[in-house]
Chains A and B, each alone.
Chain A
Amino acid sequence: MAEREERRFAQVSRESVTLMAESAGVELGEEIAAVLAEDVCYRLREAAQSSSQFMKHAKRKKLTVEDFNRALRWSNVEAICGYGAQDTLPFRSVKEGELFFVEDREINLIELALATNIPKGCAETMVRVNVAYLDGKGNMELQGAVPAAVQSLSDDLLKYYQQITRAILGDDPHLMKVALLDLQSNSKIAALLPYFVYVISGVKSVSHDLEQLNRLLHMVRSLVQNPYLYLGSYVRSLVSSVMYCILEPLAASINPLNDHWTLRDYAALLLSNIFWTHGDLVSGLYHQILLSLQKVLSDPVRPLCSHYGAVVGLHALGWKAVEKVLFPHLPAYWANLQAVLDDYSVSNAQVKADGHKVYGAILVAVERLLKMKALSLSHPGEWCVNAQTGSLAAAVGYRSPGLSPPPESLSEAAFGIASHLQAGSGGCPWEEWAPVSLPAMYLELYSFFGDSLAVRFSTGPGLDSYPYCPSTLLREPKKEALGQGSNSDTARKMPQLTANLSISPRRDGSPRTDPPPPSLAAAGPGRSLARSSSAQRSRYSSSRSGQRLTGLPRDVFPKARFSSPQNGPPTFTFVIGGRQMGQRCQGRRPFQTVFAPTPPPSAVPPRAYAHKLPVIGRVGKPVRRWTCSHYSLLLPL
């Protein structure tokens, strides 16, 4: 009976009625207000009760606004409009006035109308069947299901298996971390490996659930990094699971709000990690991976997210893979991508956004290709002594050695994914590949990317962050210590945009207040940002674009490009791109126009460029703990 008394129901006080009457311009007597209040209470409860009937018949537990409106309609009362949203309405209070109100924010219609990520609408309703229980027997576990075969294991192992899978796939992030750490270091789990591999192969059944996919990938990483485990032929299974995450048009991708890009990036990293550490276990794995990546890339029917996966996959496999597969394929692919990017129709907005992602990924990949190629060429030659040490170090690309393990320690079980990647680029077995000469390659790429390539190239953190840049390569040796500025600084520098663009290459003395963040922005999303959703990303977009415009051009290589192919590889001279702008203009228009040599009107606010720049996975935020030199789409672990 006590319970019953605890139940409270809607009360509308006399004061509220008076207040509402006043706001409607009616003076109410005290008594009338009291009577009205009481009647309103009763009617409210009555409507609530009859609306609950609609809820029950709709077989729901949640009373919706629609239910209430139906009840009103059947009692001949006008329905209340404007509260039809499925989400819960935030009910806020004003402390001072003891006022409660439903938050009803104004919506900027212009923003809404011009928004590029237009939801596609929900997917088709469908029915899927699964055998839940066979002969009345099934597992009662909701998660961490145990395959029948596992039951033959010893009790301890079985328990371990159950605990680990449940922890990893469960809801508790802390528990998951612990489980992953243990999986990474436990020396006695060899017997369980097949089962874990089996669990991981479940990626295909959870392609709608990013969270679960992520967890499974974490599991892969832990297994791969466990020094006591001999993966053997299970590598192939793991690789195929990871490739699934990279390449497949996951069900989760349907919703543009789902950040499946990060998942693909992470999976790509993982792929390179597996390959460089365990690739020797399966012969021909590299070729197989390359082939499947190539197949996806050359299949125009595949969605853009698959292409993106292929590009980041190639990128992760090293610059030689990029050179071998992506570069020759680029002219053919470019036509398709260009068509997507140039379609400004509203219906294309989502596809276009996806296209920009691919564009960005390609850009990152080819930049590193160029850079690495340049370094690999410069390394053997004696014509660039200074560059020797620098380039190698730059190639590895760590700013502070303490944060990123040196190449020698790559095989260690530390978080060395980025390093693995780098080391791999050095030891790529793809030796017989006949390379295109660097200038030719650059020219070709420049024809695609225009200035954005130069900008990106110039801001490569590996070169930028290296303190002693060879003067032949880097015309603007850094004079300022790194890390002086901050993001806000760069933002304030925005007015210098035009001045920066007109700086001559020789004017080294321009104050290097430019902080590493912009360059690192190119390097990759920081620890926090990688986790950020696309929404967060867009929040940063304005400041990011500002950095691009101000910080980047003033970087070491503002507008750098090869002067001419005739100069030949031995002599690397970089001419500021700004001068020759417009000579070859087949590239992407937005990027060339943005960085046109003629000083752009400073009146143009940086924000205007914001949405001209492709929305790609680079964000202007410093990487705090460790850097990864080239891999811009790096996901922190």
Chain B
Amino acid sequence: MAAVQGGMVDEKEEVDIKTEPQSDGFVNTNATDGRQLSPSPGSSSSAGSSKTAAGAPEDQQTLLAVLQFLRKNKLTESVEILRREAGLPEDALDSKGVDCGAPGSGGSAGGVDGLDAGSLLSRVTVSSSAGTPAPTKAAVADDQPDVSVVLSAYSQQGDPALYKVYYSDLKKFIESVLDCHRAELSQVFYPLFVHMYLELVYNNHESEAKAFFQKFSGDQECYYEDDLRVLSSLTKKEHMRGNETLLDFRTSKFVLRISRDSYQLLKRHLQERQNNQIWNIIQEHLYIDIFDGMPRSKSQIDAMSGSLAGEAKREANKAKVYYGLLKEPEIELPLDDEDEEAENEEGKPKKKKPKKDSMGSKSKKQDPNAPSQNRIPLPELKDSDKLDKIMYMKEATKRIRLGPENLPSICFYTFLNAYQGLTAVDFTDDSSLIAGGFADSTVRVWSVTPKKLRKVKSAADLNLIDKESDDVLERIMDEKTASESKVLYGHSGPVYGISFSPDRNYLLSSSEDGTVRLWSLLTFTCLVGYKGHNYPVWDTQFSPYGYYFVSGGHDRVARLWATDHYQPLRIFAGHLADVTCTRFHPNSNYVATGSSDRTIRLWDVLTGNCVRIFTGHKGPIHTLAFSPNGKFLASGATDGRVLLWDIGHGLMVSELKGHTDTIYALRFSRDGEILASGSMDNTVRLWNAAKAFDDLETDDFTAATGHIHLQDNSPELLLGTYMSKSTPVIHLHFTRRNLLLAAGSYAA
């Protein structure tokens, strides 16, 4: 009911069916009053009976579907176990089969009828009886079980010649409505256009489809161009199978946010005109998120639209996000350090001490927005970690405070002779090591300090070492292996993602070969190959506390792993296209993923739920960055724009325009004042992040409705544009003292 603002249920309101958790479009239970013609009496009646099933019908249906699937694949043991676990009677599968099968095939039944559903079911349930002639659509379903069902929703067809008339009729209507409604209603065009086109194609009206496309494709917003190009090449029913973009369209409902007034206008018009074709599509394939209040302006809509499946539903961003930082463990700073003594001699001890105190007190305060310390179990600090923390704090005291008047110096790390193709770069947090992933499947690690890379001695040699000595860590290293760089071989495809562990002992790499590999930087060997994605893994990143890591790839899911588990702990599913980049929140409780479906999602590591969906990018997202305080997220995409998001409120904060090509790198300065972005256009740009966040007006209305007013202030926020020498910037990193490091390979 959340779709209806204010909780009032209008009796004319049909859209409340959209609140059903089952997002797939083939359950049309009580949406019947809006349509003139129910596609199939059989399916609607069976759907009705499924409604009456005891308990949570959807859950049970899902279970039964799973059981059927298992049985179909002859996994009898699994069937048994699942049934026991679910507490289903043995005959549940057979007796309720009709119920659960019907919604699944309800759509397909539209064209064929209930008998089809029955035969489909018989094929599914009694797989051993091979003699049963399977209906043609079931054969289609073999490789991708849900495709035929999904596509079959298109089988209901009107007169193909009338499609143009319907569409232009609606177009005429929307063009004639009041200006304030027009922008909102225009959002309907694109999803309608796509679905109508697909219906035509599905029903083999190729020439009509082509004509339809030609006539109306020009009306669509320019940011849908990529999708339209895919559509335009699709003119045959056979091509629809296995086309991912199409599947995305079908399996998810396109989300539109429309004010109540505009929606009423649209509905009245369609009912008056008896324009059932369009009304059916709106009913089945669109999710209209209705809100009370003023209709949004064109610019407001444009700012948020562009993703593959429309905007995010408002309730999708309502969950509470604990974006605060975790309390830092208290580590006693060794005051009798050499530096300190030296400074004492210089007579500056007074200045130093209060600073220390303030830092200590800061870390003692518990951020009210922070998750509890043990919300997710984190690894314990080792002595070496504590040492590193101390080093970090020391460095932090020497940090340069950046601002619009005090811009960072930039060092560029150029990869020379990288003929094999540099695909990923990462720095360690202390900027002592740099690693590159290459298209020739290698990972190379360089030391950027004079300290060379050494391997640990062999087991035999390690036995000879005096383990009691103080410098045992030094003694275990084999001087003979010292070199400036090391090459890690193991992948069998380009390495697209790379990440150092916070303690600098491990390195993660993800590759086209579908694996994520964990490498030891002590032995420079591969420790684990994590298999699970099966498709190219585009990105991976270690948690800021180590131990956990996240990966995302072509299979459209992000996975959360722990280094000591060979299977993922969480699978974050929901993106409609490849997960192109993954980032951990600084408090390690959340993971942000960017995708080719042009949305960003924030996932809760604890529950695995999606807690935020950010839409607004017009191209695949290729990089993400959390602000150091955990409150904000920056994202960069192929559209050359950087968008800033307020995580707590789930709102877009700012749009930074300036880059002319894909942005591959984003990084906040250590104090969060400056945002650096690096792009394929060979530039690094610095943005005044502090100003962008200060300008943010978070009044309750904006927060409640999610209607943001963005002023175009990119020029003011842009602090500088820095060109590299024909070197695309693919990674950025702020050192602990706020020196900006950029990396890329020279493109001759």
Contacts and interface: CB of A to CB of B under 8 A. Distances in A.
23 contacts: A4-B225, A4-B228, A39-B239, A57-B494, A58-B421, A58-B423, A59-B423, A59-B728, A70-B512, A125-B416, A125-B417, A125-B418, A127-B415, A127-B448, A129-B413, A130-B414, A131-B410, A131-B412, A133-B410, A133-B722, A135-B406, A136-B407, A138-B722
A155 B596 CA distance: 52
B527 interface: no
A9 B230 CA distance: 11
A142 B414 contact: no
Interface stretch (A40-48, A98-106, A444-452, A546-554): A40-48
A590 to B, nearest CB: 36
A86 B222 CA distance: 34
B409 A136 contact: yes
Contact of B411 (A61, A131, A136, A137): A131
Contacts of A54: 494, 512, 536
Interface in A348-400: none
A140 B417 contact: no
- 6 cross-chain pairs, A with B, having the tightest CB-CB distances, nearest first: A136-B407, A1-B218, A133-B410, A45-B233, A132-B412, A123-B417
Contacts, number: 136
Interface in B568-582: 578, 580
B267 interface: no
Contacts of B217: 4
B282 interface: no
Given A125-B444, A127-B434, A134 B494 contact: no
A129 B233 contact: no
B724 interface: yes
Interface string A454-493: 0000000000000000000000000000000000000000
Nearest to A138: B722
Nearest to A254: B417
Given A125-B420, A136-B722, 14 more contacts: A4-B228, A9-B229, A42-B239, A46-B239, A60-B421, A74-B554, A124-B417, A125-B416, A128-B416, A129-B448, A131-B410, A135-B408, A138-B722, A140-B723
A429 B230 CA distance: 80
B538 interface: yes
A180 to B, nearest CB: 24
Contacts of B536: 54, 57, 74
B724 A74 contact: no
Contact of A57 (B417, B419, B420, B580): B580
B620 A56 contact: yes
A130 B418 CA distance: 17
B638 A56 contact: yes
Query: What is the size category of the interface that chain B forms with chain A?
Result: 35 or more
A126 B746 CA distance: 11
A135 B417 contact: no
Contacts of B407: 135-137
Contacts of A127: 413-416, 434, 436, 446, 448, 485, 743
Given A140-B723, A142-B725, A59 B414 contact: no
Tell which of A127, A134, A137 has the most Cβ of chain B within 10 Å.
A127
Contacts of B417: 122-126
A125 B437 CA distance: 12
B189 interface: no
Contacts of B223: none
Contacts of A140: 723
A39 B240 CA distance: 12
A101 to B, nearest CB: 25
B538 A57 contact: yes
Contacts of B236: 38-39, 42
B719 interface: yes
Given A59-B664, A59-B728, A132 B233 contact: no
Interface in A130-189: 130-138, 140, 142
B718 interface: no
Interface string B707-735: 00000000000011011110010100000
Contacts of B446: 126-127
B742 interface: yes
A615 to B, nearest CB: 27
Nearest to B719: A136
A38 B235 CA distance: 9
B521 interface: no
B662 interface: yes
A49 B230 contact: yes
A124 B235 CA distance: 49
Contacts of B662: 56
Contacts of B69: none
A363 B686 CA distance: 60
A13 to B, nearest CB: 16
B610 interface: no
A45 to B, nearest CB: 4
A74 B409 contact: no
Nearest to B214: A5
A523 to B, nearest CB: 37
A53 B595 CA distance: 12
B693 interface: no
A7 interface: yes
A74 B493 CA distance: 12
Contacts of B406: 135-136
Contact of B742 (A4, A56, A132): A132
Contacts of B230: 49
Contacts of A9: 229, 233
B535 interface: yes
Contacts of B218: 1, 4-5
A142 B664 contact: no
B409 to A, nearest CB: 5
Nearest to B727: A132
Contacts of A133: 409-410, 722
Interface in A12-47: 38-39, 41-42, 45-46
Max chain B CB contacts within 10 Å: which of A5, A7, A56, A136? A136
Contacts of A61: 680
B680 A59 contact: yes
A73 to B, nearest CB: 10
A270 to B, nearest CB: 28
A481 to B, nearest CB: 51
B321 interface: no
